[in-house]
């Protein structure tokens, strides 16, 4: 059983973290360990039609965001990595600066020190120099910064398809490959054709 950490922060785009938990429930050998900030629950009220209890029920194991003594705060607790979806500026700043004042940042810091993958769906635009510096530092620390930019080669027919595609590509970075993710293919009309 592979353990994957899913963190949901209060940035706009709570649906990305929720969708990750929904998709991972369909993968037999994955156990999800979730940390959801109070701000995420507040954002969810405005963005999705799910109660806090419904969101919490998607995780196999749920941790309190303030419990820095939780299993996730130790490198001896083995995980396959972490997805922060969405990743707020505050959380990005904490990860970039190793400021472990709560469990989401501490869990990311542990993954990074143990050389495990940490994927950050950074949800902010436009960007100022401070944001770019934080993304640079987080990347230097070993994180993968992946703003949730939609791919149009999959010809999405709905926002739901775009969210699923983005989350699927983020999970690819954690070596979780889902069948519903549309892939770029070689052949007529591809960028490789002359």
* Residue 11 within any structural domain of the chain: yes
Domain of 82 in residue numbering reads as: 2-172
Sheet containing 30-36: order of strands: 61-63, 30-36, 2-8, 82-87, 118-122, 144-145
* Residue 86 within any structural domain of the chain: yes
pLDDT in tens, 19-72: 999 999 999 999 999 999 999 999 999 999 999 999 999 999 999 999 999 999
* Residue 121 within any structural domain of the chain: yes
- As a whole-number percent, the residues of the chain with pLDDT over 90 amount to 92
The C-alpha atoms of residue 173 and residue 120 are separated, in whole angstroms, by 11
* Residue 193 within any structural domain of the chain: no
* Residue 185 within any structural domain of the chain: no
* Residue 183 within any structural domain of the chain: no
pLDDT in tens, 144-170: 999 999 989 889 999 999 999 999 999
Q: Can you give the CATH number for the domain in which 95 is found? A: 3.40.50.1950
* Residue 192 within any structural domain of the chain: no
Q: pTM of the predicted model, to two decimals?
A: 0.94
Task: Give the tokens for residue 104.
Answer: 């989401």
- Bridge partners of 43, per DSSP, are none
Per the structure, the count of domains in the chain is 1
Task: Give the tokens for residue 156.
Answer: 């999405």
* Residue 187 within any structural domain of the chain: no
């Amino acid at each position: 059983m592979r353990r994957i950490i899913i963190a949901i922060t209060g940035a706009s785009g709570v649906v990305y973290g929720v969708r990750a938990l929904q998709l991972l429930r369909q993968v037999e050998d994955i156990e999800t360990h979730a940390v959801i900030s109070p701000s995420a629950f507040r954002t969810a009220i405005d963005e999705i039609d799910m109660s806090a209890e419904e969101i919490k029920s998607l995780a196999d194991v749920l941790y309190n965001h303030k419990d820095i003594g939780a299993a996730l705060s130790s490198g001896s607790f083995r995980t396959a990595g972490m997805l922060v979806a969405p990743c707020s500026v505050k959380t990005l700043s904490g990860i970039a600066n190793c400021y472990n004042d709560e469990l989401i940042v501490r869990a990311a810091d542990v993954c990074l020190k143990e050389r495990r993958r940490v994927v950050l769906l950074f949800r902010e635009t436009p960007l100022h120099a401070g944001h770019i510096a934080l993304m640079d530092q987080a990347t230097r620390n070993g994180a993968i910064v992946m703003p949730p930019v939609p791919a149009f080669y999959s010809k999405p027919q709905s926002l739901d398809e775009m969210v699923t595609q983005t989350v699927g590509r983020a999970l690819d970075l954690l070596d979780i490959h889902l069948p519903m993710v549309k892939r770029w293919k070689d052949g007529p009309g591809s960028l490789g054709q002359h």
